[in-house]
Chain A
């Protein structure tokens, strides 16, 4: 069981806003930033959000990240069919000395 818990699925219609949560269940990542990765079908993961809420160059501002207390969230506004895929949160675990990933959330655009 991952120390980062995500809902297994999320959905929304084109143009709407959807949020995906990532809850921390271990103090070992308490002070560490959360990253979000997008994995479209049959492709490698891609960094979407780093340092809780920063977007790498080239990532549309429709994607935003936030963190409060023991939870982080990824918000996608103006949902598009090409956003359909899997989304993972991750953080460095100071006790395991390694990256831990959430179980992933499959986003369906209805």
Chain B
């Protein structure tokens, strides 16, 4: 069974940093691209970043470019999102999702990031 479990969310002050993790199991992690998608409270879904299986291709949404860094450790079956210079607009539930390039076929349960003083 495919499982994705996010962690690392919490309360952070504006301008601060946070690192999210996504632990994958139930599939060969090293063969799949992965994406982060976020959802602000009461709002819709917003794609954040994509990384392919070998880390050779990485994309970011304009809203996070230059502040967020996506990475992965295939040996640990883990995906990461380093978030710097956080603002209130980054407050959201962050989901990791398996990205097949055709769809986002499995999602984690999400981790809440709150940016507030």
Contact = CB atoms under 8 A, between A and B. Distances in A.
Interface string B99-116: 001111111111000000
A63 interface: no
A104 B46 CA distance: 11
Interface residues of B, number: 22
B104 A51 contact: no
Interface stretch (A10-18, A73-81, A94-102): A94-102
A103 B40 CA distance: 12
Contacts of A44: 95, 107-110
Chain A interface residue bracket vs B: 20 to 34
Contacts of B44: 2, 86, 88, 101-104
A90 B59 contact: no
A6 to B, nearest CB: 9
B91 interface: no
A45 B50 CA distance: 17
A90 B37 CA distance: 12
Interface of A: 2, 33, 35, 37, 39, 43-47, 50-51, 56, 86, 88, 90, 92, 96-104
Given A43-B109, A44-B110, A99-B37, 12 more contacts: A33-B102, A33-B103, A35-B103, A45-B95, A50-B102, A50-B105, A90-B104, A99-B35, A100-B47, A101-B46, A101-B47, A102-B44
Interface of B: 35, 37, 44-47, 50, 59-62, 95, 101-110
